[in-house]
Amino acid sequence: MSDNGCGAPVGGVALADVDAKGQAVIQGVVRRGGVPLSGAYARLLDDSGDFVGEVATGEEGTFRFFAADGAWRVRVLASQGFTAEYDITAEVGKVIDLQVDA
């Protein structure tokens, strides 16, 4: 994976390949007009709003975070000024799937 200038890895993930056993997983797909959106950013924030991590979506518009149990916020940023936030409660052994229409 290459660096895109902001420190976030470019590429996305294959969402079908996750095993949540022993982990809390927060993942999703960013689309615009039904088409996966490459180059959007998903940021993971803790329950205090502090930055934890960021990934850039790849050709399939996907992102994934592995998190501890508890409250999290996912902020998605995309071209054309799109920003959205999602409050999440993560649980070990569960996968949370977000569908984002940018």
How far from 81 is each of 5, 44, 45, 65, CA to CA, in Å?
19, 19, 20, 23
> Cα separations (Å) of 49 from 17, 37, 73, 85?
29, 25, 7, 11
| pTM score, whole prediction | 0.81
Nearest partner of 46 among 72, 70, 68, 24, judged by Cα: 72
Q: How far apart are CA 16 and CA 64, in angstroms?
A: 11
Domains in the chain (CATH in brackets) are 15-101 (2.60.40.10)
6 DSSP assignment: S
pLDDT > 90 fraction of the chain, expressed in percent and rounded: 77
Tens of pLDDT, residues 13-42: 555 566 667 889 999 999 999 999 999 999
Cβ count within 10 A of residue 89: 13
